[in-house]
């Protein structure tokens, strides 16, 4: 998967989790949680959805690497290479 495709998947997952998610003006390098007012429960859903779709196991200690859109893409790029 390309970086752009990963980005699209992430935004699609977030939009599915939160019907009110507003991506206008989203800064890819600032924390997603603050910008989208997500909490730890929503965050778990992103992880669970990635697991469901791509059988990805993301250990809890690596959650901080999913803080921003850019860091998510950096983290997922090697893992989704063959998808």
Partner 1 sequence: MAAYQLLIIGGGLSGIAAGIRAARFGLNTLILEQHHRPGGLNSYYLRQGRLLETGLHAMTNFAPPGVKQAPLNRLFRQLHLSRQRFAVHEQLGSEIRFAGRSLRFTNEIALLEEEIAREFPEAIDRFRRLRSAIAACDPFAAAPWRSTRQFLDQHLRHPLLADMLLLPLMIYGNAEEHDMDLGQFVIMFRAIFEEGFFRPGGTMREFLDLLARQFREFGGELRCRCPVAAIETDGDRVVGARLESGEVVAADTVLSTAGLPETMRLAGWAGDRDRYAGRMSFMETISFVPRAAAPALIPDQTIVFYHHGPRFDYRRPEDYLDTSWGVICFPGNFSGLPPEDAVQIRVTNAASYPLWRGLAAEDYGPVKERWTQAAIAASEEIVGNYRPSIVYQDSFTPVTIERFTRKAQGAVYGSGIKLRDGVTPWTNLFIAGTDQGYLGIVGAMLSGVTIVNQHVLR
Please name the helix (run of DSSP H) or strand (run of DSSP E) that holds residue 82, with its range, or none.
Answer: none
Q: Which of the 8 DSSP states describes residue 14? A: H
Question: Least distance (Å) from partner 1 to the CB of residue 51?
Answer: 7
Residue 3 or 53 having the CB closest to partner 1: 53
Binding site for partner 1 (CB under 8 A): 16-20, 37-39, 41-42, 44-45, 48-49, 51-52, 60
Least distance in angstroms from the C-beta of 2 to partner 1 = 26
Alpha-carbon Rg for the chain, nearest whole angstrom, is: 12
Rounded to a whole number of angstroms, the minimum distance from the CB of residue 29 to partner 1 is 22
Helices 3-17 & 40-54 angle (0-180, nearest 10): 130
């Amino acid at each position: 998967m390309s970086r752009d495709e990963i980005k699209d998947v992430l935004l699609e997952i977030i939009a599915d989790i939160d019907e009110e998610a507003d991506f206008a003006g989203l800064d890819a390098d600032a924390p997603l949680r603050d910008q989208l007012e997500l909490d730890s429960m929503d965050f778990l859903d992103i992880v669970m959805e990635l697991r469901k779709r791509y059988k990805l196991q993301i250990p809890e200690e690596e959650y901080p690497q999913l803080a921003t859109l850019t860091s998510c893409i950096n983290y997922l790029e090697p893992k989704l290479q063959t998808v």
